Amino acid sequence: MPDQLVHTRVLPERTARFSDWPEQTPKQFVDAVGSTGVTQPFEHQVTAANHALQGRHVVLATGTASGKSLAYQLPVAADVADGVSTALYLAPTKALGADQLASWQHLSEHGVSWLRPAAYDGDTDPSSRAWAREHANVLVTNPDMLHVGILPNHGGWAKFLR
């Protein structure tokens, strides 16, 4: 099987480019992210977040551990601060969903008090599912649970899906 690899390319190292937080970034969000050691966002995070904050669709394709999560968490956190908006995060794998939920919980526990993240997956117990339906404003789930648990019961999810 060594013949399966047909091409490799090594890209040269690049210097990181940082930017200032977008103007509408809540201070609590900056402080919570700062508790992880991040003091200034990367330029690509700010560019992506600004596009999302302006209502534009965004696709961000960067390497592992390059800050994609922060690029979407910033506009989502700013939007759900209104007390009405909600966000549905579809994770393709259970591990990614768990990582993203942990990140949202960290933000919530470190000053972003209006965030109410919850998981809704096959391992979520009935009382936690009910809490998520009634109170979560950031729901981490997967395509299977969307089709099996949420959409067929959309009446019960009306508050979240509004």
How high is the mean pLDDT in each 10-residue block of the chain (162 residues)? 81 92 94 94 96 94 89 95 96 93 97 97 95 97 96 95 92
> For position 65, what pLDDT does the model report?
84
> For position 1, what pLDDT does the model report?
58
**CA-based nearest residue to 96, from 49, 143, 58:** 143
Structure tokens at 75: 């506009």
pTM: 0.88
Structure tokens at 63: 């390497």
Interatomic CA distance for residues 142 and 138, integer angstroms: 13
> For position 2, what pLDDT does the model report?
65
User: For 16-161, which CATH class?
Assistant: alpha beta
Helix or strand or coil: residue 52? Answer: helix
